[in-house]
Amino acid sequence: MKATQLLHNLGQSLWLDNITRDLLNSSTLKHYIDELSVTGLTSNPTIFDHAIKNSSAYDDAIREELGRGRTGESLFFDLALDDLTRAADLFRPIYDRTNGVDGWVSLEVSPLLAYDTSGTIKAAKELSERAGRPNLFIKIPGTKEGLPAIEESIFAGIPINVTLLFSREQYVAAASAYQRGIERRIAAGLNPQVGSVASMFISRWDAAVADKVPEALKNRLGIAVSGRIYKAYLDLLRSPRSRRTLNAGARYQRLLWASTGTKDPKASDTLYIKALATPFTVNTMPEGTLKAFADHGELGPIMPADGGDCEKVLGHFAEAGVDVDSLADQLQDEGAKSFVKSWNELMTVIASKSKALTKAA
């Protein structure tokens, strides 16, 4: 039995952190669903930037969009929704079979809205309505400005993938925003079953301190922070507040491990997959990491519910001069800026392709 199946059997959902038209047209995504236990996927501006820039698969669609007068951001979201609704339809049997627990795909609002609450709410509603699929998450960053947009979107019944979370404190704030949205639905007599995941970025922690800590601490910070977050996740799940909403018919917001591709070439290519094996969570993997785990991955022990030795390890990082709280804020800010950079590059690619295709017509 493949390691991917064993991980799925353990109780963790395996999602693909990639989407391209080639993956869909070649039936590769279907193969991953059928053979590698993939039950969902995520996307972001960087993924679409690479997909459109490095493939001719979108050229015909871009020509059609140009013929309809679409350009720039509007053209992009048409392309992205085409891909993601097709993917959502592939995952729909899983969504139906699991009663909405699994089988999700994700589309991000424009990263330019990371610090714009009202703009984010408006974009989330519009994209969700345009998609017209019950198993499509709208990704909203868990920034200070994003939190009220998350609450309002959940209250409006829009499934949300909270992205760009790094620390326990950022996770708890995002989970509280989700909880408030659900509680408002219950108070208003609305169905409280609105799907959501909270996405914790892991590998960026280790990349950020790679040259600043002793060898013995390398590639250990992301996992230690994950242990701290996992404990907070289970504490919230067991809390009276959560149980009250669950008793009213709500579904709990699942924890999602993101950025789980190993960035250090000296480390195992399945480092974070093995370490983050935890039931009732999601691990969204880059395509290379998914295939590596299927090929030679192994399951280790499940992460302890109390976080294991995470606080001891984090203490060693503090002794080495790493301020985890400050670094978490820095990583979230840098993450938002990197998505804006990818977004701008994506808009440049679309403009360049549009110009070339118009000229060749």
Catalytic residues: 139
- Report which residue type is found at 319: E
Dihedral angle of Cα 348, 351, 352, 358, to the nearest 10 degrees: 180
Amino acid at 53: K
CB neighbourhood size of 9 (10 A): 11
Q: N- to C-terminal Cα distance for the chain? A: 51
Sheet holding 196-201, edge to edge: 38-41, 12-16, 281-285, 254-258, 196-201, 160-165, 136-141, 105-108
- What Å distances lie between residue 358 and 70, 74, 236, CA to CA? 13, 17, 54
Beta bridge partners of 281: 12, 255
- Residue 45 in tokens: 């501006």
Please tell me the distance from the alpha carbon of residue 227 to that of residue 237, in angstroms, as a whole number.
Answer: 15
The answer to whether 132 touches 100, Cβ cutoff 8 Å, is: no
DSSP output for 257-299: EE--S---TTS-TTHHHHHT--TTEEEEE-HHHHHHHHHH---
> Is 336 within 8 Å of 110 (Cβ atoms)?
no
Burial (CB < 10 A; 0-12, 13-18, 19+), residue 346, is: buried
CA-CA-CA-CA dihedral for 125, 131, 134, 139, to nearest 10: -60
CA atoms of 35 and 345, how far apart (whole Å):
34
Scanning the structure block, which residue is given the tokens 């991000």? 108
Q: Positive or negative, the Cα torsion across 289, 2, 41, 235? A: negative
Q: Is 137 helix (H, G, I), strand (E, B) or coil?
A: strand
